[in-house]
Structure 1
Amino acid sequence: MECRTGCAACCIAISISSPIPGMPQGKPAGVRCVQLTEDNRCKLFGREQRPAVCRSLTASVEMCGASDEEAFQILAQLERATAPATR
Structure 2
Amino acid sequence: MNCRLGCGACCIAPSISTPIPGMPGGKPAGVRCVQLNSENLCLLFGSESRPAVCGGFQAEVDICGETSEEALINITALEQATN
Scaled to the shorter chain, the TM-score interval is over 0.9
1:21 corresponds in structure 2 to 21
What is the rounded CA distance, in whole Å, between the counterparts of 1:33 and 1:5 in structure 2? Answer: 16
What is the rounded CA distance, in whole Å, between the counterparts of 2:17 and 2:49 in structure 1? Answer: 15
Q: Which segments of 5 or more consecutive residues in structure 1 lack a partner in the other structure? A: none
Matches within 5 A, 1:46-65: 46-65=46-65
2:42 corresponds in structure 1 to 42
What is the rounded CA distance, in whole Å, between the counterparts of 2:28 and 2:79 in structure 1? Answer: 10
- How many residues are aligned here? 83
TM-score, length-scaled by structure 1: 0.93
What is the rounded CA distance, in whole Å, between the counterparts of 1:65 and 1:28 in structure 2? Answer: 23
TM-score, length-scaled by structure 2: 0.97
2:81 corresponds in structure 1 to 81
Displacement of 1:76 in angstroms is: 0.6
State percent identity of aligned pairs. 63
Q: Which segments of 5 or more consecutive residues in structure 2 lack a partner in the other structure? A: none
